[in-house]
Structure 1
């Protein structure tokens, strides 16, 4: 069969036309010399704001964070960021980032495992550092995430990673730090459903699931207490729940489900509990506070749960949790592509009661505390990782958020991404068209 050289040439030209900038940028090398950013407004992440500040870091760790006039510039490469703002790198909890690339292509989906009880499943080893989505998220200041499995009753173990690495071994900040439990939905009977056979079967299945869950927790506690001849991976992965070295993340929204789930876990000796989702957290705030339970609230950009609630109830829930004294963090729980909007979730909460710095803490230091990494990151303080962002405007405001520099463990990362490339590509196209015929397309003129 004779192959036309014209088609070969066209194919080669097509391959060569694929732009390098559209690919995932290579991870930055380790910090090679001390760096000091000076002149910016520093938002520490713990509520403190320092005007005309300086932040120095060396070997990936922050060595100075405070007023510019107190900084020792000797030996530092000084970068003038006067008029800009320095923030801690934001943290997205409860995310399938890196586990799912294209939802319509099964081979790119690695966030779910078959079966109902999979505590031994590790999301970390499935995390894809080459995901095209990661660079688009970093561009808005989100530099860390909790990689979380989904599905079943017990989905598996989550891990925390930073978003600039060659592989999951390089990315990990804290491995297998918690197990995720999807609390079975409660069934509410109505007048028309009391004799519904399907509802009865669902109720029986729920009771069976809770029985099996209780047996698994009881067996895991026994396994931890005794010396076993044979290793049981499922039980071994759960032993940390009983000494507080692992957290139990209970995914539940309805108030009664939250109370039931927390009470159930405590009954079996689970030490450290976090409720994820928690749309009704305000309703059971006293219970959560009394039981020392933290919340990862997922519903800021959502509709109210009930018709009788205020239309802005999801927006002001973070403020109400703050007033009630419940430790909480915020997450973006919609499509993973939208995680870049995490700072704007906090911005909405700031518009409905939270102080701006409190809102920042809800996506930085508060999250770090709940995930157990606050000694390492979450705020711009001496001794912590130099994981921070510089923005010309307010990081939490979508109108002025403009990240000009970002550092992960002192490494200045590449902020290019596919969306920026496409924007520049078509912007140049329209500008060229304007020069030729003097017209400006509607999309550009607007």
Structure 2
């Protein structure tokens, strides 16, 4: 009993700020952010602007001179910058907490073909990592399962919720297909397993083809007895669900897109896209959008331009390919999403184009642009305010964040620990000086 009492006492003594902040209260009164520079997200910039929102929806976005403050609680943000909340696609945030602890990992299911697996039901809204992501302006993510050939269904969530049901913005919106990488024998390096690996790949593709054909028949037949796997795939044939094709090499991109088209898949989004700039004509002809994951990675080949990953967003923009940026599946790296967009600025994109690549472009590709992605009247009040340029790590300093009009608590464990030890060593330094 004494040990239990000691344990309870320890829990009660833990500072509240070290815990995951509680979700914000629903917006109770209209708010007007006044005096900042507004970056709409669609390329428009308005100096000395105002943004008003009520009941979670944006009611005004324009020059400060045109805003009536009569019914609003005015928040003075003069000299600051207002942006739409950033969106991170293709992530396992909330599905894994500590990579070295198996019990905290819930990113994949056993087996190769799992189209019916729903990633969102494993989403942990109490993850310690989520508040650290919000602090840099990321307010929404696409939960993506991993592993196997067909990993399962992704869902889009906002990052301020009590549970996964409350977090959902768009549930089960797409199927993720990891295209089997082409196998090329190396002339001077014999591989006794090459024939076996090639046969296994061909078998995987035949299984995949058969499942998609069965799903098309299932959709047309509308049987009384539900088949969960085939039912999950059915939406690919009428465009109600997207196929997210994960591929990097040019040969795999061409092969994967052609395969999906032959099976009757309507909406295809390329994820990864390391060689996307080598096949831009093909992507444009087939109306393929790209979620590019490689800005801060090395080139695919030794003889590639060392700056190619940095320049790829600009080259995609020049080619007219709709694209968004993501920071791959690294849960801790997601906080750097605005900075990979900043890197793209240094290599050709304008600042507003780069902003769109992590806001409105992403919302369009994910099918949620009618609700978020830009600061426009009628959309959800998913808004961030920064003291400086959100894309520059030297000036990124988020002071306010709102999700559906609710003010988000920007405290997190890292900020708490920083203040804790900063105060400790400053106090010790003063004692030494005295």
What range is the shorter-chain TM-score in?
over 0.9
Out of 119, 124, 141, the position equivalent to 1:123 is: 119
For 2:56, the equivalent position in structure 1 comes to 60
Confirm or deny: 8 A CA contact 2:91 2:329 kept in the other structure.
no
Residues 1:281 and 2:269 are matched in the alignment:
no
Residues 1:94 and 2:90 are matched in the alignment:
yes
How far does residue 13 in structure 1 lie from its aligned partner after superposition?
5.1
C-alpha distance in structure 2 between counterparts of 1:154 and 1:307, whole Å: 30
Confirm or deny: 8 A CA contact 2:92 2:329 kept in the other structure.
no
How far does residue 311 in structure 1 lie from its aligned partner after superposition?
1.2
Secondary structure, aligned partner of 2:363: helix
For 1:70, the equivalent position in structure 2 comes to 66
For 1:357, the equivalent position in structure 2 comes to 352
Secondary structure, aligned partner of 1:51: strand
For 1:22, the equivalent position in structure 2 comes to 18
For 1:407, the equivalent position in structure 2 comes to 402
Tell me which moved more, 391-400 or 330-339: 330-339
How far does residue 197 in structure 1 lie from its aligned partner after superposition?
3.0
Residues 1:50 and 2:46 are matched in the alignment:
yes
C-alpha distance in structure 2 between counterparts of 1:11 and 1:292, whole Å: 59
Name stretches of at least 5 consecutive residues in structure 1 with no aligned partner.
440-446
C-alpha distance in structure 1 between counterparts of 2:289 and 2:236, whole Å: 15
Secondary structure, aligned partner of 1:91: strand
C-alpha distance in structure 1 between counterparts of 2:222 and 2:115, whole Å: 20
C-alpha distance in structure 1 between counterparts of 2:314 and 2:390, whole Å: 19
Out of 226, 231, 234, the position equivalent to 1:231 is: 226
Confirm or deny: 8 A CA contact 2:120 2:155 kept in the other structure.
yes
Residues 1:328 and 2:323 are matched in the alignment:
yes
1:334 to 1:301, Cα distance in 2 relative to 1, 3 A? farther
For 2:154, the equivalent position in structure 1 comes to 158
Secondary structure, aligned partner of 2:381: coil
Secondary structure, aligned partner of 1:245: coil
For 1:110, the equivalent position in structure 2 comes to 106
Give the root-mean-square deviation of aligned CA atoms. Answer: 1.3
1:8 to 1:211, Cα distance in 2 relative to 1, 3 A? closer
Confirm or deny: 8 A CA contact 2:91 2:330 kept in the other structure.
no
C-alpha distance in structure 2 between counterparts of 1:13 and 1:437, whole Å: 34
For 1:319, the equivalent position in structure 2 comes to 314
Residues 1:367 and 2:362 are matched in the alignment:
yes
Name stretches of at least 5 consecutive residues in structure 2 with no aligned partner.
none
Confirm or deny: 8 A CA contact 2:154 2:171 kept in the other structure.
yes
How far does residue 334 in structure 1 lie from its aligned partner after superposition?
4.8
C-alpha distance in structure 2 between counterparts of 1:14 and 1:377, whole Å: 42
C-alpha distance in structure 2 between counterparts of 1:71 and 1:33, whole Å: 16
For 1:132, the equivalent position in structure 2 comes to 128
Residues 1:301 and 2:301 are matched in the alignment:
no
How far does residue 10 in structure 1 lie from its aligned partner after superposition?
6.2
How far does residue 11 in structure 1 lie from its aligned partner after superposition?
5.0
Out of 409, 423, 430, the position equivalent to 1:428 is: 423
How far does residue 20 in structure 1 lie from its aligned partner after superposition?
1.1
1:86 to 1:234, Cα distance in 2 relative to 1, 3 A? same
- Number of residue pairs matched? 434
Confirm or deny: 8 A CA contact 2:311 2:348 kept in the other structure.
yes
For 1:192, the equivalent position in structure 2 comes to 188
How far does residue 17 in structure 1 lie from its aligned partner after superposition?
3.3
How far does residue 229 in structure 1 lie from its aligned partner after superposition?
2.7
Tell me which moved more, 332-341 or 203-212: 332-341
How far does residue 212 in structure 1 lie from its aligned partner after superposition?
0.4
Residue-by-residue CA offset, 1:355-394 (whole Å, 9 max, x unaligned): 0000000000000000000001000000000001000000
Out of 195, 200, 206, the position equivalent to 1:205 is: 200
1:8 to 1:374, Cα distance in 2 relative to 1, 3 A? closer
Secondary structure, aligned partner of 2:380: coil
C-alpha distance in structure 1 between counterparts of 2:374 and 2:229, whole Å: 35
Q: 4+ residue stretches of structure 1 with deviation over 3 A? A: 7-17
How far does residue 208 in structure 1 lie from its aligned partner after superposition?
0.2
Residue-by-residue CA offset, 1:212-254 (whole Å, 9 max, x unaligned): 0000000001111112131100000111100001000000000
For 2:213, the equivalent position in structure 1 comes to 218
Confirm or deny: 8 A CA contact 1:193 1:199 kept in the other structure.
no
Secondary structure, aligned partner of 1:94: strand
For 2:166, the equivalent position in structure 1 comes to 170
